[in-house]
Amino acid sequence: MNQLFIYPVKSLKGIELDESVVTEKGLLHDRHWMIVNPKGMFITQRQFPQMALLSTHINNDYLVIANQQSGQSIEVPLVPTKPLPKCEATVWKNKCQVLQECDDVGRWLTEQLKTPWPVRLVRMAEGFTRQVDQSEKFGVGDHFVETQFADGFPFLIANQASLDELNRHLEMPVPMNRFRPNMVIEGLEPFEEHRIKSLVNESIRFDLRYPCERCIVTTVDQKLGTKHPLQEPLKTLIKLNPMPNNNNAAAFAENATVVIKNNHPLKRGEQFYFT
């Protein structure tokens, strides 16, 4: 595993790490917060590509969100320092009980993103667990997956060889940040991640559950916050590596769940066997 990332706020810029604590709901602080519109619906780079311009950083006891263009920033306590109002927010089909961060944070985000209406920053309410029904992918039976504000699974694992293969078919190569993975692995053939069941070592096992269907966010330049006018690399990826049973959609990286064997942190450079 040669790269390790978290994205503390859904759809904002991520953080590359040397190591991270692993939980069954994802890496520590990954997708711990999300931004919502006045109706409580989540927003992402799909609608607002400029979200890519806001960086995140964990600084001691605070999440720091910064605008790389304006140089302005704001801090959010990792642990609330006062009671936060409870409300409901929606991410895809899931209605979640959440806590709303202070109004100053919402005003700052609204100003930086220049949204047409006020936005709010929310975190999952203590004691609430989001369960995502993945039976459409897995078939009949009880197939609920627990995660924070990630789209549907707690982990996303990408293969460096797959990106290299995609870039061989593009006029302008793209970096891995277009695909926002948690982990990037080396040592597999291109797109071989879709044909293996798990990554295992003495501390942990990641079960690769289903290919990740890619969307328009892959066309957003993460440095400029703009979409590619010809929808690349998505158009090329659809031809190169379509989703199972859907030749009109693109797959890149694998959604995964975890079985934790001990409490050792996950470290960049860690070795895995695959099954």
pLDDT in tens, 18-49: 999 999 999 999 999 999 999 999 999 999 99
pLDDT in tens, 158-187: 999 999 999 999 999 999 999 999 999 999
E strands, 92-200, where? 94-100, 120-124, 130-133, 144-147, 155-159, 183-185, 198-200
pTM of the model: 0.95
Quick one: pLDDT at residue 133?
A: 83
How crowded is residue 21: how many other Cβ atoms within 10 Å of its Cβ? 11
Question: How far is the C-alpha of 25 from the C-alpha of 29, rounded, in Å?
Answer: 10
Dihedral sign computed on CA atoms, order 135, 211, 22, 81: negative
The percentage of residues in the chain with a pLDDT greater than 90, rounded to a whole number, is 92
What's the number of CA atoms in the CB half-sphere (13 Å) around residue 269?
A: 2
Amino acid letter, residue 107: R
Specify the pairing of strand 155-159 against strand 183-185: parallel
Query: Which pLDDT value is given to residue 225?
Result: 97
pLDDT in tens, 102-156: 999 999 999 999 999 999 999 999 999 999 988 667 655 557 899 999 999 999 9
